[in-house]
Amino acid sequence: MRNYGDFQFTSESVSEGHPDKVSDRISDTVLDAYLAADPEARVACETLCTTNRVILAGEVRGPASITQDLLIDRAREAIKDIGYEQEGFSWKTAEITSLLHAQSADIAVGVDSAGDKDEGAGDQGIMFGFATRETEHLMPAPLFYAQTILEKIRDYRKSGDARGVGLLPDAKSQVTLRYVDGKPVGATSVVISTQHIEGMRQNTIREMLREVVREVLPEGWMCPEDEFYVNPTGNFVIGGPDGDAGLTGRKIIVDTYGGAAPHGGGAFSGKDPTKVDRSAAYAARYLAKNVVASGLADRCTLQVSYAIGVSKPLSVYVDLDGTGKDIDEAKLGNVLREVMDLSPRGIRRHLRLNRPIYAKTAAYGHFGRVPDPALDNFTWEQTDLVDALRGAFNR
């Protein structure tokens, strides 16, 4: 998104009750169950959700204590926590089937470490990390506000606040911001579609959500009234997996940077951290965020690439988008390799990824989140490399 003039940029988000996000949540719940029992467990879990039906598929390797019945119970608990107790999709009555099977021996040979052999990447691929000074969390502003709007709606819905009464779990948001000289200055349009109970008036929903948006956006940023769209097609009573099928991994742009930066193509949810689709994308965000937090640049895009069974990254590419403070990007790429071991095992150890921390990542973005010290989660959002990066460039 190299454009330092005047322009508009749009990002969207979806709530935890969106059918694809229900699938992501269940897949990550399965992952957490395995990692809680064995930090070295292997999981690649895909979930399909439709009308009162959930199907788990994929491959796993872990202790026998993680039974199919236990995973079905955990999936049911996840659906309950999201808030689905409707005729067409309910945590009580949904039929849940687990078709998970043992991990391929061919993949295990390439990935596992043995003797002096280092642990290889779980697959080939390219992963991107990004950070920008547009928000305090160093995330692109359109996505940040789209995500935050839906988080607020969720909080009000679950707490019983007047701003959430009558709203149901499925929701989407879209925020368009106007940029002047490359910096966001206000919203030109906001779109929110939210599931609601039967008989709720659209004007009532509109008034409720207007207050939420005003609370989230900076003062003076609210879009014109005729560009504020709430449930544009009218009633939205039938939603979630009853309204549309959901699949794991279909919201990768929502999960990352809202289209403001490249994406390697791999999804995150349901994958254990030996899969570099996930762990290396987290590492790339971590490094890009530390570059921006250190003051070396205002924007940073980072790409890393891997081959299955090979431990070292094949390449590390850095693009500061013209915002580097007299920084040589090639040198920065070498420095980043020095301050962090980018092998799959090195990433897992540095970011402490072999723990059951993933269910909370499944909705509202994997990046830009605030770590909870008690849970030691979202470790890739920490900025503990700032001093090392500044020292490498005598700053």
Average pLDDT on 131-153 reads 98
The catalytically annotated residue of 42, 163, 196, 275 is: 275
CA nearest 274: which of 35, 29, 55?
35
Q: Catalytic site residue 158?
A: no
Task: Say which range, 122-131, 345-354, 386-395, has the weakest mean pLDDT.
Answer: 122-131
Average pLDDT on 155-176 reads 96
Evaluate if residue 91 carries a pLDDT over 70. Answer: yes
Q: Could you tell me the pLDDT band of residue 3, with boundaries at 50, 70 and 90?
A: low
Q: Catalytic site residue 46?
A: yes
Average pLDDT on 356-368 reads 98
The catalytically annotated residue of 236, 268, 367, 378 is: 236
Cα separation, 41 vs 31, in Å, equals: 9
The catalytically annotated residue of 38, 53, 57, 59 is: 59
Q: Catalytic site residue 251?
A: yes
The catalytically annotated residue of 61, 251, 278, 366 is: 251
Which positions make up the binding site for Mg(2+)?
20
Evaluate if residue 114 carries a pLDDT over 50. Answer: no
Cα separation, 184 vs 270, in Å, equals: 34
Q: State what percent of residues in the chain have pLDDT above 90.
A: 88
Average pLDDT on 331-351 reads 96
The catalytically annotated residue of 24, 119, 134, 277 is: 277
Q: CB–CB of 371/322 below 8 Å?
A: no
The catalytically annotated residue of 37, 57, 108, 245 is: 245
Average pLDDT on 126-137 reads 97
Which positions make up the binding site for K(+)?
46
Task: Say which range, 172-176, 310-314, 334-338, 340-344, has the weakest mean pLDDT.
Answer: 310-314
| Residue in the block written with tokens 């990447």 | 121
The catalytically annotated residue of 9, 12, 16, 18 is: 18
| Residue in the block written with tokens 């009853």 | 242
Q: Could you tell me the pLDDT band of residue 123, with boundaries at 50, 70 and 90?
A: confident
**Tokens standing for 57?**
């598929």
Q: Catalytic site residue 381?
A: no
Q: Could you tell me the pLDDT band of residue 115, with boundaries at 50, 70 and 90?
A: very low
Summary mean pLDDT of the chain: 94
Which positions make up the binding site?
18, 20, 46, 59, 103, 170-172, 244, 250-251, 267, 271, 275
Q: Catalytic site residue 277?
A: yes
Which positions make up the binding site for L-methionine?
59, 103, 244, 275
Cα separation values, 69 from 20, 46, 73, 84, 98, Å: 23, 17, 6, 20, 8
Which positions make up the binding site for ATP?
18, 170-172, 244, 250-251, 267, 271
The catalytically annotated residue of 46, 119, 255, 319 is: 46
Q: In the chain, what's the furthest Cα-to-Cα distance?
A: 66
- The domains located in the chain, with CATH, are 7-14+141-239 (3.30.300.10), 19-107 (3.30.300.10), 125-133+249-392 (3.30.300.10)
Average pLDDT on 66-73 reads 97
Average pLDDT on 126-136 reads 97
Buried b (16+ CB within 10 A) or exposed e, 130-151: bbbbbbebbbbbbbbbbbbbbb
Q: Catalytic site residue 283?
A: no
Can you give the three-state secondary structure of 190-246, one letter per residue? EEEEEEECCCCCHHHHHHHHHHHHHHHCCCCCCCCHHHEEECCCCCCCCCHHHHCCE
Q: Is 121 left (phi over 0), alpha (psi -120 to 50) or beta?
A: beta
**Tokens standing for 23?**
């699938």
Q: Catalytic site residue 89?
A: no
Res 214: pLDDT: 97
Q: Catalytic site residue 85?
A: no
Q: Catalytic site residue 244?
A: yes
Res 74: pLDDT: 98
Evaluate if residue 127 carries a pLDDT over 60. Answer: yes
Cα dihedral 58, 245, 129, 33 in deg (nearest 10): -40
Average pLDDT on 199-207 reads 96
| Residue in the block written with tokens 């580097």 | 324
Q: Catalytic site residue 366?
A: no
Q: Could you tell me the pLDDT band of residue 90, with boundaries at 50, 70 and 90?
A: very high
Average pLDDT on 263-278 reads 94
Res 116: pLDDT: 43
Q: Catalytic site residue 18?
A: yes
Average pLDDT on 61-87 reads 97
